[in-house]
Every structure is written in C-alpha cells, then in structure tokens.
Amino acid sequence: MAKLYIFGIGGTGSRVIKSLALLLASGVTISSKFKTIVPIIVDPDSANGDLNRTTDILAKYQEIQKIVNKGAHFFGTEIKTLQELTDENTPIGLNNFKFSIEGTTNETFEDFLNYNALSPDNKALIDLLYSPSDLKLQMDVGFKGNPNIGSIVLNQFKQSKEFKDFANTFQEGDAIFIVSSIFGGTGASGFPLLLKNLRQDDVTIPNAKLINESKIGAISFLPYYKINLPHGEAKQTIDSSLFYGKAKAALSYYEHSIFKNKSLDAFYYLGDNSSKTLEHHDGKAAQKNPAHFLELAGAMAVLDFMNKIEKVDRKSNPLFLEFGVDSESNGNLNFSDLGKNLKASISKPLSQFMLFNNYMTNFLDEALHTKDTWHKSGNTEEGKELFGQDFYTQNFYKDFLAPFFSYYTEWIEEMEQNDISFTPFREQKSYAELLNFIEDYEVKNSIFSKKASAKILGGKLNELVDHTKYETKEERMIKLFSDATKLVINDIIK
C-alpha cells in the first residue's frame, strides 16, 4: 500500500496537518490506495505554538493507535514519521515530525550569510538587497513575511537528514502533498523551493527518478486573516496590509515557474475575505493562532487529492481547484451549508467522535451509575469492572485519549469563534439531551420515548460490548464506541 508524504510549511502548514489528524481520528476515510500518512513539518520557528500543538496531537494519535492496533473506525489511518520508516523501533516523540533547517538556531540572517566575512563589494550587494532590519532578523522566529529571506535560508532542503530519509523511503506508488500559505515568508518561499528539489532528477538523491515522476499536489492559502499591529508601532515586519500584494506577486511567479512548467498534478486555492484580526506575536510559543474552517477545508483537499490521484496527470490533465460552500448564512456555517460531497465525507465521522467525546468528557460519571452493562461486562478475575473508574486513571485514557478529546473540543470551539465560523454542534447541557447536539438535526423527545437521551447510546453499547473483537481492553473501548456511535448517528443523519 502506498504512502502520502505531507509537507506542511510554516504556521499554516502546521494547522492544516492538525486538522487532518483530527479528521482522521474521527474516522474520515482516505483513499483505498493509501495506507499511511507521513507528516513532515517545515518551520524554522521550532518553538512555534502552532507547530508544537500539532506535533503533540500527532504524537498522541500515534500513542493511541499503537495501543488500539489500527483496527477501529476511530484512529484507523496509520500516521508514521520519517524516523519510523527508516527504523520501526523509533520511539514516539514530538520532534520526529519536524524538518530541521540548518542555520536557524540562535542566528540572525546576517550570521547565516556570514556577512562580516564578505568582501566590500559583496557587502555592498547585500546592502542593496536587504535592509539593516532584514539582516538583524532572528532566524528562529521564522521569516516574518519575507520570502526573499526564506528563499535563501530554505535553499538547502536536499542537504538535510530528513530529506535524505524521505528520499530513501520513497517507493513506487507513493505521492506527495505540500501545504503552504502564499502571503507570508516561510510558506511562500518554501513551497517553490521544495517543489524544485522534488522535480530534479538528481543522481545524488536516492530514488530521484521515482520522486521526480511521482504525483504531487499542493495547497497555497490566499490571505484568510489579518494581523493587528502592536500598539504604538506604525510598521511591523509582518504587515497584513501587504498580504494581497504579496499573494498576487507569488501567483505571478507560480504561473511562470510552476504552472507553465507543469510541475504539479493538482493545485488547490483556498482563501477567505475575512475581517478576523489576530494579535501580533513575534513567533515562538505565543504564535498559536485559533483554528479556522479553511484549515479543515485544506485537510479535505489533501484527502480529495488522494481520491483523485488516478485521474490527475501534470503533463496532460493537471487540476486547478478552488473551494466553495453551497450557502453562507450570516457568516455562520454548519453541515447543511457544505457541498454535497464534503458534507457526506465529514458530517457523520465528526458527529460520531463528538458524541464519543461528549459522553466520556461530560457524562461519564452519570453513565457509570446507570443500569447500563457495557462498562461491567467481561469482568476480570479480580472482579473489577471492564471499564470501571480505575480504567480512567491509567495512561491510555489519562495521558492520551482525554487530552486528545480536549484538543478536539478546542479545535471545534476555535472554528466557531471566527467571523466566518463553522458551528456544526450545539453545546451539550444534560444527559437527557445528549443526542440533540448536531445543528440542523433536531432529535425530539415525546411522552413515549426519550429519543435524545444518552440512554440510546448506552443501549447500543450494551448490545455490542460482548460481541466486539479486541486484543486489548483499550482497543475494545475504541472499537465499541466507534461501532455504537455509528449506529446512533446513522439514525440522526439520514
């Protein structure tokens, strides 16, 4: 089975990979041609809050998947790192998803160029091309909207260990997808440079011919947010008033250097005329932007590329695709506003995982004190309940699954808070109304039946628990809730 290598460049790249991981956790399916996703995050700002949140989500996904054995609907897609492909005994770690970039740690751009050792003539040339503030830019906070700097620093992809690991593990049928923004510094410069290296038939690169001839797709995000300038500063390195000008210049460059050369099999455009303004942060941990619906759409573009891969051919039929919605009500989107294919792909899986999340996070204590038998079935020799209170204090739930639920909830809530918001779910307030949580799908109780009650889910769990195949108790839980929530959601979303 084939692998898809996903290069996420800069902060936008990290956030799209985060959305993809959360979609895959919920059971959104990938093409049957592919078995494995290999995320590779390219960002000089190694302390970036978006990057580290994404790598933590990926690491927790891997920990859960390792325990549940990839047999369930939830967490069903395999996520691997380059290190695991080269050595399957590599321990799970946050840094394993990062692509190291030499010369970006504790150095300025001036240091990277070795400016002080240059001849007077070369110094004069550099001074013409770059301002004093450009030269003093710290490399470990990214390129701050300067693709002219990023293109110099990132023009070393082929020399990195990660690129060599990527090339060594690339096989027949594997494919590549690149995620970047077009209006910043890291993404705008990194995308064309990476693509150039991938399309070079360089004999010094292992499997260069396979890589050169492989299917490659990409997303370039047009501006979809603005940056608030710090109080009292008239000009900032990252100036969102320049975003559209930079995007136009980049598209013009792409037209001549990428599209006319037929370097891509599929290219996706995503953007939004949003008035959302984010606070300016100078990189590192504070650079942690709220999730945006367009990043979810970007993740779906990755899956769309995988499904279309047999139909695309950069030489005869390259695809150029934009994203749109069926309707937009006062800037507030829910499942009913999405196109038919997108709605069919994500509405049930996202709802299933949200139901699992709500039940375990908000109503577990109540569920454990009902007459339901799902948590009592299969008693151990010690007489303890299968999923009694002790289960939720162990590593699997406490350190991996519960934090993953928190990330999922945070993701949904952040998308709701944008000016163009995605609000697929209602807040859950009671055990009796647990199933009444999907916008545009009203589940009504009657005097004869409590259709919206958590007891409906409890009943499905009771029916399935002793028929669920499993190797570990943890795998049994994931499979059980995957199957039970599917039955419940299929009754709500027809």
What pLDDT, in 10s, does the model give residues 348-359? 999 999 999 999
Strand locations in 241-348, DSSP E?
Answer: 266-270, 277-279, 319-322, 332-333
DSSP-derived secondary structure for 42-69: E-S-TT-HHHHHHHHHHHHHHHHHHHHT
pLDDT value at position 153?
58
pLDDT value at position 150?
56
* pLDDT reading at 430 higher than 50: yes
pLDDT band at 102 (very low <50, low <70, confident <90, very high): low
Q: Which residues pair with 175 in a beta bridge?
A: 4, 215
Contacts of 298 (CB under 8 A, 6+ apart): 12, 16, 19, 179, 219, 221, 268, 270
* pLDDT reading at 454 higher than 70: yes
- Token pair 């577990």 is at which residue? 364
d(CA 1, CA 306): 13
Contacts of 134 (CB under 8 A, 6+ apart): 109, 146, 149
Question: Which of 154, 166, 162, 262 lies closest to 216, judged by CA?
Answer: 262
pLDDT value at position 156?
67
Which carries the bigger pLDDT value, residue 330 or residue 124? 124
* pLDDT reading at 70 higher than 70: no
CA atoms in the 13 A half-sphere facing the CB of 180: 29
Q: What is the mean pLDDT of the chain?
A: 82
pLDDT value at position 380?
45
pLDDT value at position 4?
97
* pLDDT reading at 280 higher than 70: no
d(CA 244, CA 70): 43
pLDDT band at 193 (very low <50, low <70, confident <90, very high): confident
The region of weakest confidence among 173-182, 237-246, 386-395, 419-428 is 237-246
pLDDT value at position 2?
93
pLDDT value at position 144?
55
- Which H or E element spans position 4? strand 2-9
Written as one letter, the residue type at 343 is K
- Token pair 């082929």 is at which residue? 158
Three-class SS state of 371? coil
Q: List the Cα angle 141/145/146 in 5-degree steps.
A: 95
Q: Which residues pair with 333 in a beta bridge?
A: 422
Most distant pair of Cα atoms in the chain: their distance: 89
pLDDT value at position 238?
57
> 31, 300 in Cβ contact below 8 A?
no
pLDDT band at 7 (very low <50, low <70, confident <90, very high): very high
pLDDT value at position 163?
84
* pLDDT reading at 240 higher than 60: no
Contacts of 269 (CB under 8 A, 6+ apart): 219, 220, 222, 320, 321, 322, 323
Share of the chain above pLDDT 90, in %: 35
pLDDT value at position 472?
83
Give the tens place of pLDDT for each residue, 258-269: 888 889 999 998
Mean pLDDT of 321-340: 82
Please state, as a whole number, how many other Cβ atoms lie within 10 Å of the Cβ of residue 413: 14
Give the tens place of pLDDT for each residue, 119-145: 888 888 888 877 787 777 765 555 555
DSSP-derived secondary structure for 63-98: HHHHHHTT-SSTT-SEE--HHHHH-TTPPP-GGGGE
Burial class of residue 304 (count of CB atoms within 10 Å of its CB; 0-12, 13-18, 19+) = buried
